[in-house]
Structure 1
Amino acid sequence: MKTKDFENKILSLSDQVYRMVYRMLQNHESSEDAVQEIMIKLWDKRKKIRNHPNIPGFVFLTARNYCFDLLKKKKPNFNSSEYQLKRVESDTNLHQIEWRELTENVKKILKELPPKQAEVMLLRDLDGFEFKEIAIITNQKIAHVRVLLSRARKQVGVQLTKIYNYEYPKI
């Protein structure tokens, strides 16, 4: 693969890779470093990648695996000052407070879901990947990805209904 091909096919995906990596690592600096390392790894493998049938899928799979390796080495620190500062920064706008509460509830629910369901839901609904791309990233069949997403969305809906319908319990 020539330099121009690498720029067009792989480096052009770096923004999407960054968003996925940031979602997984939850740290701006670590995410930037990870994307740089991922691109270096891909550059080193450029001759092997040249004939790959799905280059974007390979790029995202590489990024995902790299992040998993990093997370195995170090668990994310939700007590860090950066994370706490983001939580403290708030406006008094009621709509924003409600949205933040909903986001926190969805995060809690996602942590309780089976890992594959949570991952598929995040890739589809947060990162906007197509089913085909998710199937490649997660090494699943497209039909199974659809099933996982459906089950995850249903479970999130059920749990949110339980949380927000506390005033009107079913008898």
Structure 2
Amino acid sequence: MKQSDFLKAVLPFKDKVFRLAKRLLVSTEEAEDATQELYFKLWKNKEKLGEYKNVEAFAMTMTKNYCFDRLKSKQASNLTLVHSNYKEKDTSLEKKIEYKDSVSNVHKLIENLPEQQKIIIQLRDIEQYDFEEICEMVDMKPTAVRVALSRARKTIREELIKQHNYGVS
């Protein structure tokens, strides 16, 4: 496989790999390292990429596994919690702060979900993968993926309602 063929095959989903790594590792620097490591591994095994039905799903699975390995390692204690993914143009400062707080709040709620739900909500609601691709990536049946996604959304919705109604009788 030539370098140009390799790049055509793997570059279209680079941002998705990074966002999944960032969701799992939280730190931008760690996510960048994970993305770089994944692409290095893909390059080393470029001759085998043609054997995979869906290279993107394979790469996302590799990313998930790499991130879990990083989190389990001793270096995981060095990971920092930083979220600043949301940017909006032409909005008042008050609205920007409100949006940032809301997005940050949802990110925190997602972070508190069980790992499986966290990955599935990231892949479906943020990365916009369809259910078949998610099933392949997480090695689960469609029904199980739908149930996990539903539970994750319900948990987030209930927490947001609870926070919104706090102190209201």
- Does residue 124 of structure 1 match 2:127? no
Report the equivalent of 1:162. Answer: 162
| Structure 2 match to 1:3 | 3
Deviations 1:20-58 (A, max 9, x none): 223333333333332222111112222222121221110
Aligned residues: 160
Whole-angstrom distance in 2 between the partners of 1:110 and 1:22? 13
TM-score, scaled relative to structure 1: 0.79
Distance 1:139 1:104, change over 3 A: same
Separation in structure 2 between the aligned mates of residue 103 and residue 117 of structure 1, nearest angstrom? 18
Instruction: Name the counterpart of 2:61.
Output: 61
Structure 1 residue 17, shift from structure 2 partner = 1.5
Cα 1:108–1:30, aligned 2, differ >3 Å: closer, same or farther? closer
2:51 is paired with a residue whose SS is coil
- Equivalent positions of 1:132-143 (< 5 A) are 132-143=132-143
Q: Distance in 2 between matches of 1:22 and 1:61?
A: 14
Q: State whether structure 2 residue 12 is matched by structure 1 residue 12.
A: yes
Q: How does 1:10-159 map to 2 (within 5 A)?
A: 10-73=10-73, 74-75=76-77, 76-78=79-81, 83=82, 93-159=93-159
Q: 1:155 to 1:27 in 2, by over 3 A?
A: closer
Return the TM-score normalized by structure 2.
0.80
CA distance in 1, matches of 2:109, 2:19: 21
Unaligned runs of 5+ in 2: 85-90
Q: Deviations over 1:70-114 (max 9, x none)?
A: 222213223xxxx49x6xxxx982222222332233233324332
| Aligned-pair identity (%) | 36
Q: Please identify the structure whose Cα radius of gyration is greater.
A: 1
Q: Which consecutive residues of structure 1, in runs of 5 or more, have no partner in the other structure?
A: none
CA contact under 8 A between 2:22 and 2:28: conserved in structure 1? yes
